[in-house]
Amino acid sequence: MTTPAQPPPQQWSAICPGDLGYKVGIRRPDGSIGFVPVIGWVTVTMKEPDGSVSNGFHAVIHGANHLPQVAALAAGYAGTFQAGVTPKEAEDLIKQWTKAAAPQPKITQGPAKA
């Protein structure tokens, strides 16, 4: 019988207060974007199963249960935006990000074909 794999260790920093000039976009049920304030930031360091380490710097918001929550884990999370961004601008930015993240065509090296 094998022992179940242990989850990778995580290290969370204390919440650093302040919005740093950002807000979080949340997609509403009707598809529009609304904003919630950033109440702080937290860093997360995770040791992956392969031994590598990943780091993240995440916005913290008041979650649906009124407790601090990492914004990226909130239902409807649409991104973190500068404080002056309007809902329309946020939609445009999301389209740009989605397009940039779309699979790119494979480019193979070799002789040019005429």
CB 66 within 8 A of CB 47: no
d(CA 97, CA 108): 25
pLDDT on residue 3: 65
In a domain, 5, yes or no: no
- The reply to whether the predicted model has a pTM over 0.85 is no
Confidence band of 23 (pLDDT split at 50, 70, 90): very high
In a domain, 62, yes or no: yes
In a domain, 51, yes or no: yes
Confidence band of 109 (pLDDT split at 50, 70, 90): low
pLDDT on residue 88: 96
In a domain, 1, yes or no: no
Confidence band of 11 (pLDDT split at 50, 70, 90): confident
In a domain, 4, yes or no: no
In a domain, 77, yes or no: yes
In a domain, 23, yes or no: yes
Provide the residue range defining the domain that includes 61: 10-100
The count of domains in the chain is: 1
In a domain, 30, yes or no: yes
Q: State how far the alpha carbon of 56 is from the alpha carbons of 10, 36, 83, 90, in Å.
A: 11, 20, 21, 22
Per residue in 80-102, pLDDT tens? Answer: 999 999 999 999 999 988 887 66
